[in-house]
Amino acid sequence: MRRLIYHIDVNSAYLSWEATEQLKNGAEQDIRKIPSIIGGDTSQRKGVVLAKSVPAKAFGIHTGEPVADALKKCPSLQSFSPNFSLYKKYSRQFIAVLKKYAPVVEQVSIDEAYLDMSGLHYFYENEIEAAQYIQKEIREELGFTVNVGVSSNKLLAKMASDFEKPDKIHTLFPEEIERKMWPLPIRNLFFTGASAANKLHALGIKTIGDLAVSDKLFIQAHLKSQGETLWNYANGIDESPVKAVRDEQKGYGNSITLGKDVTDYEQAARVLRQLSETVARRLRQDNLFARTIDVEIKDCYFHKRSHQRNLDFSTNTTDDLYRNSCRLFQEFWDGTPLRLLGIRCTKLTREKREEKMCERRNLNLSQEKNGQLQFCLEQEKIPEQTAVEYQEAKGQNKERHKKMEQLDLALDKIKNKYGEESVGRAGAFFLEK
């Protein structure tokens, strides 16, 4: 029996969900039918384009570009700030519909999923009838549209769903590859980034078909393991299963593109505090602890850098993430104005490991003012420190950590009951306008 896989993708999800909500609340205009984006405040340089309408796309506006650049292309462009709590609501409704039609649903992002329909097509007139039912139910009951790709594996289903949008169903079975997929530019092949595409262009490979008929070993010699993967994809080869339960996350992170460039440490610390709050809360929700913290920055010249620290303990407290991310930031920031800051936690574990005090390298929080942390880092052992003093300091450290944990739990309870914006820590705010 041939496998039957659906890839279902919400059309311009964030914008569609914003439009749907507006219409439910009495809006007369559907923002999907005018030049519009989800991306932030158009009155100032703030954020990037997260989603765009079809009319906005006609102006050459693309996902990921700065809002300021999009406005230059279309001065009448309407922009709306992202509402992630709303997106989560619609995402849950979207997945709930999919689970009515397939026993195995793999959600790969907030707005897309794979369905294993193998064997179920016998209950329908043809292999796409169920896709039509899914589209109809989502359109009529939820108020937005989806694309459906139909094939015998995940790769080809994904490629098919991207052919033409919105509200379309496309098939891409192995016998259709040469006609439907091979003429496409190599950049359109799944997993082919700009760097890989440039390397392939240099080798004379312009289309997916060019890659498919190339010598596999030759491609591997130039692109290593990625070359093998891309060659397989170009030939429609993909054996990955549809998984009902996603693999456990390897890391938790959050980043923000800033409304204005960060030029001093005090500003950065405010942002790091808020990012620490968000990431730590997600860890606590999943009962996980992190042992590695990574701080990422992007400067005003779009240069990216990162710096990480391996901890000798595991943590999910906001305070720990904040203290360590501030220290990391101080260690590698050279003062160049920044437009993006991010925090990521990895080496996740379900076991809590207590922080140890080190005689030779004892990090103490000495001052916190206006979101700015100052640290006293004692590089060498202090001979005068007695065993009693050391134990007292150790006890104080444990007591402080316990209080921070209690504070985190209290804030989590309030936010769970009254919403994410109901309460915050003193100083936990983004840059002032």
Residues 72/32, Cβ–Cβ less than 8 Å? no
Taking the C-alpha atoms of residue 282 and residue 320, their distance in angstroms, rounded to an integer, is 14
Considering the candidates 18, 21, 65, 112, report the single residue annotated as catalytic.
Answer: 112
Beta bridge mates, 369: 372
Kindly state the helix (H) or strand (E) to which residue 341 belongs, with its residue range.
strand 338-349
Q: For the stretch 41-73, what's the b/e string if a residue is b when 16 or more beta carbons lie within 10 angstroms of its beta carbon? A: ebeebbbbbbbbbbbbeebebeeebbbeebbee
Kindly state the helix (H) or strand (E) to which residue 91 belongs, with its residue range.
helix 84-98
Taking the C-alpha atoms of residue 355 and residue 395, their distance in angstroms, rounded to an integer, is 12
**Angle at Cα 411 formed by Cα 84 and Cα 344, nearest 5°?**
55
Backbone angles phi, psi at 357, to 5 degrees: -85, 135
Residues 170/149, Cβ–Cβ less than 8 Å? yes
Provide Rg for the chain, Cα atoms. 25
112 included as an active-site residue: yes
Work out whether strand 146-151 and strand 169-171 pair parallel, antiparallel, or are unpaired: parallel
**To 10 degrees, the CA torsion angle through 240, 114, 281, 272?**
80
Residues with a known catalytic role:
112
